[in-house]
Amino acid sequence: MSQALKVALAGLGTVGGGTAALLAEQAELLALRAGRPIELVAAANLEKPKDVPLGKAAFFTDARQMVAETSFDVLVELIGGAQGIALDIAKAALAKGRSVVTANKAMIAHHGVELAALAEANGATLAFEASVGGGIPIIKTLREGLAGNRIRSVMGILNGTCNYILTTMRASGRDFADVLAEAQKLGYAEADPGFDIDGIDTAHKLAILASLAFATPVAIDKVACEGIRHVSALDIQYADELGYRIKLLGVARQTGQGIEQRVYPAMVPLSFPLAHVDGVFNAIVTEGDFVGRSVLEGRGAGARPTASAVVADLVDLARGRSVPAFGVPVTALKTQPAAPNEAHASAYYIRLMVKDQPGVFADIAAALRDEKVSMEQIIQRGRSPGATVPVVMTVHETVEAAMLRALARIGKLAALAEPPRLIRIEAPTA
């Protein structure tokens, strides 16, 4: 059997520990599939964990020292963070001609093109299957499996925390703050959950997918981002009634005005695959010109699924399989214009909390009419003159700029008890 692939592992947290365990437990299987052993020769962490199988690997408390002093073929970076030590050791390894495997979506979203160029210049490989979708092989799918297609769109549920919260809200009828607190107690949400619930995590992953799909440099600064804080139990109840599920989506698509990259809560029809992806699961839908629609679903986080993706990259490297990080050489990535958000066209769900008094509907209808926004349906129940009641409507497809102008006007009406709530309706064609 050929000489072992020597691996240096930085970071022994949830994913790092899972990766070390997988390498130890599946050593025989991996050697068979990789054509040679995959050997953990060094590991770095601030403290040496007792429950992580490191075997004969040298242990370091300083990852920079490990990279500088160890002989290895591949650095597995699982520290995390866009800057700091993770970026430093990735650059150092690539500069030495050593390949890098990482699950670090923030680093790839902000520095992926720079790192890919460094890899190409030094005959190394940058691999990041585990950075998006946990155990779902979406990177390889876009980069290799769909290589014969021009990708029209990529759309997905990319954050398990948000999907868990929205799923639990629907199942229990409870409101956002209550379910978030429960998710934090169960360990599904961080003490500071903003990275997840404000859509930042999804934005990082979407920027990576868009680069792969459209052969363009990663452009995290071009991703419009909206989280789920404003989604209420009432909205989820009405979504059910209207035949939709509310999901936080990352959406990247080619339009006539450029590439659209957006993260937002959306209503998806029950006939669409993403509507039925619940709990902490992720799913991604791609549309290619030859293959049509493809759907991948699975666990988007956790020690074992993410370690599975990390080790898949290691097997490729052991076999000598290497492709450009973003599917084409860095010099072939073409910057494309960003589609203006205000040009987005879709149907919309609108919820208004209004005082039940004469003339309110006429004012609302006038604001929509003047922007050429056409109502599809309207729901109002529990008339109680003078009281505040919910008014829910859906409107036919319209340009977002017009929709927002109409809502700004409606929001100034004295009869409104709170700002209007808008949720986009994503209804992809089959």
Half-sphere exposure at residue 426, Cβ-oriented, CA atoms within 13 angstroms: 26
Buried residues in 263-299 as b, exposed as e (16+ CB within 10 A): bbbbbbeeebbbbebbebbbbbbbbbeeeeebebbbb
Sign of CA dihedral 389, 394, 276, 141: negative
DSSP result, 385-422:
TTSEEEEEEEEEEEEHHHHHHHHHHHHT-TTBSS--EE
Using N-to-C axis directions, what is the helix angle for 160-172 and 233-242, rounded to 10°? 80
Q: Which of 105, 140, 205, 247 is catalytic?
A: 205
Of 42, 72, 74, 76, the residue nearest 59 (C-alpha): 42
DSSP β-ladder status, 74-77 and 5-10: parallel
Beta bridge partners of 299: 281
Of 312, 271, 324, 279, the residue nearest 297 (C-alpha): 279
Half-sphere exposure at residue 88, Cβ-oriented, CA atoms within 13 angstroms: 11
DSSP result, 324-351:
-TTSS-GGG----PBPPGGG-EEEEEEE
Q: Which two tokens stand for residue 374?
A: 């056409």
Task: Determine contact, residues 149/123, Cβ cutoff 8 Å.
Answer: no
Of 204, 214, 326, the residue nearest 263 (C-alpha): 204
Active-site residue, 247 included: no
Residues with catalytic function: 205
